[in-house]
Structure 1
Amino acid sequence: MTLRCVDLAQTNRWLTDRERNAVAGVITSCFANVSSTDYMANYFDSPGAFQRKLRLYFQGDSLVGYCLLVFTEESDAVLIRASAGFLPAYRKGGNTFQFSLTESTKCWLRRPWRKLYYADTMLSPAMYRAIAKNIAIIWPHHRQKTPNVLFERFNSQGNVSQTTATRCLVSVGRVSNYTESDLAAFQASDKPEIRFYQAVNPDFTKGVALFVIAPVHLKQLILTGLKHIRQG
């Protein structure tokens, strides 16, 4: 189904009270063990970000999902953190990939000499696969060598996965509202990204997220483009 999108920016037009309440409703529907007020204060309103980009997804007049990108300066690098949530019927990975890639590329093009990394705490195997199947370079990954130094730097308070020996786990307290049948489908999946995620982060149903990093640079863009050409 085709959704109507509305794009907002922290430095231009930000959330109205009505939009804010609608986003809070999506957050409550998507996650358990989380206060939507605290969540929005942390991701949508906290100081320190020099830019935020937000895409709202509507079915008719009803908000059904959002994708938020938060841009911060981290010493000699720019870090792009992400947050996304969709009502169950609209959880399609492709909804957020194009927006995230486009906005990350725009940020890189403004200052291509700076190191730029997309970072996300992914709460489920489906979230991980939505990115890993579309992007060429992503860590951790079952076919790529993980640069542990980046995880020690950007996730220094996180935990080490026994599977990868990488500090790529982080306790976030909240969990995605998946049904028992959803979880059974993950267990039975033969998709390599789904199986890898569960091996690396077996406690994702207990409030543990996988911390994922993807560099944004010319090599990434070229290889990602070639990957999409090969996939048709």
Structure 2
Amino acid sequence: MPKIAKSAIVVPSKLDHAARQEFIDALYRVHCEVFDGVSRDSFAKYVVESPAEHTWINVHRNDAGEIVGYFALHIFERELAGQPSAIFRAEAGTLRAYRGGNTNTRFGLKLGVPYLLRYPGRRVYYLGSLVHPSSYSLFAKHFDVVWPSARHPPPPAVLAFMDELANSFGLERVSPDNPLTRQVHWITRDSEVERSYWRNCDKPAARFFIEANPGYSEGNGLVTLIRVDAHNLRHAISAFFAERYTRRKEGLMVTLYRLPIGGQLLRPAEVIRRLKATALFGSFDAPSLATLAESAQIVALPAGKTIFRAGDPGNELYVIARGAAYVLAGSESEGEDHIIDQLATGAMFGEIAMLSGERRSASLRTATATLLIEISREALFSILEANPKLSEVLWKNFAARRFDDCVRGLPAWKTLERAARLAVVDAGQHRLLAAGERAEVSAGEMLLVLLGNVQVEQAGTSTVVRAPALFDTKQAMAVTANGAARIVCIAR
């Protein structure tokens, strides 16, 4: 995988006019590979010729010396509520093939910390209008208090302050009654695989961002405020170095695991603990978890090893016991090898394809030496067959995720909290249909096709539908399974 070979800081104000225009052209070429909707003049105004008191741009180059990414950091010095204050703002863009490092985090800390030390009495904030869930997730990962977030909804005074700041930077509201979504017009060039991944992503920060800013794919930004104080800064520095330390430690553990004595390094109790911590297996009782752990395979892989490719059969799911993995868009055999996201220790992946029988929708590759807990479909389903109550819980959890993925972006549903949406599907009636079996769906019920494909007859028309799909109409339906299928009938 290509890597950033060198990064260097450029101060645009130190360039003469001709050099600055050439610099703008070079960065804008990269920008256009990442974003749509922004003219060269607008890009120059925001990124290179910003009116901020201080602007630094970290420029990333590959081995050939070509610019492959940038991270621009601006500091606006203002008087707010009678106190000297600083507003940090930033823009970034990196070509797909070169994503996945933490170069920008180091750059931000390198410039931000000295500024805070130089002006200890100054209030400092980061103000973003974030246009992608990956950006928001990065801030949520490194800072403890981020407004808005699921843990920290902005208090009225903070919300008013965020609104005032966003207005002062000329960010227009998307809707008059929502001060947090603004028209930014930076549209990320996501592939369909990337859009699907983020729509279905289980990361709490990503889910929060998409619910708070459902129009991000149209170039709308979520106003995000972080108080850059001692608490948040300590948290960011700690998270940064903890990640580096953990990677090295886990890499060593994985290496040791591959030795003859290595099997003792991941004991059954830890396998059970890792499985219990996942949303899918959190409801399993102790005997079932022990049985599942006994059937698990422990797989030790070096960095850069492909776990599976898009289009592969989904016969297993995985939990990262130690290490990290990249989610890649498309099929590596077709040259689509760009990073969508990174999964860390404790993350589960592959469960959608395994439970649904679908093929893999994305590729996974280890980012570091990685230890995986592998659960086969055969092992899991044998436990479910022996424990109908456990099976019911698992399929309800799976249906809740599928249902939420289907409805959370729809106008009639997106205003509801996630808990309220899940309560609707939780009361649904599950039906497992054999091939050719027919089921009736009453008028006023919704139909969630959870697994397989079915033929839906409604008002004289017939449609073949493949899971996952949701029918939300007021008319009665007749459903015939074309093969083994699972449906959920949901009362309104």
Say whether the fold is shared (TM-score over 0.5): yes
Gaps of 5+ in 2: 247-492
- Alignment map for 1:1-232 (pairs within 5 Å): 1-10=3-12, 12=14, 16-47=20-51, 49-60=52-63, 61-75=65-79, 76-92=84-100, 94-146=102-154, 147-156=158-167, 158-159=172-173, 167-228=179-240, 232=246
Find the aligned partners of 2:242 and 2:178 in 1 and give their Cα distance: 30
User: 1:191 is matched by which residue type in structure 2?
Assistant: K
User: 2:88 is matched by which residue type in structure 1?
Assistant: I
Aligned length, in residue pairs: 229
Aligned position for 2:344: none
Gaps of 5+ in 1: none
CA contact (8 A) 1:139 1:213 kept: yes
Give the RMSD, CA atoms, in angstroms.
Answer: 2.4
The DSSP-based 3-state class of the residue aligned with 2:49 is: coil
User: 1:150 is matched by which residue type in structure 2?
Assistant: F
TM-aligned CA distance change 1:10 to 1:217, over 3 Å:
farther
Identify which of structures 1 and 2 has the higher relative contact order when contacts are C-alpha pairs closer than 8 Å and 6+ apart: 1
The two structures have a TM-score, normalised by structure 2, of: 0.43
Residue 57 (structure 1) shift: 0.3
Find the aligned partners of 1:161 and 1:115 in 2 and give their Cα distance: 30
Which piece of structure 1 moves more, 65-74 or 88-97?
88-97
* 1:9-64 CA-partner distances (Å, limit 9, x unpaired): 245558655433210101111111211232112331143x2110110000121110
The two structures have a TM-score, normalised by structure 1, of: 0.88
User: 1:183 is matched by which residue type in structure 2?
Assistant: R
Greater C-alpha radius of gyration: 2
TM-aligned CA distance change 1:17 to 1:43, over 3 Å:
closer
CA contact (8 A) 2:75 2:86 kept: yes
TM-aligned CA distance change 1:27 to 1:2, over 3 Å:
closer
Find the aligned partners of 1:86 and 1:161 in 2 and give their Cα distance: 30
CA contact (8 A) 1:56 1:63 kept: yes
Find the aligned partners of 1:219 and 1:93 in 2 and give their Cα distance: 25
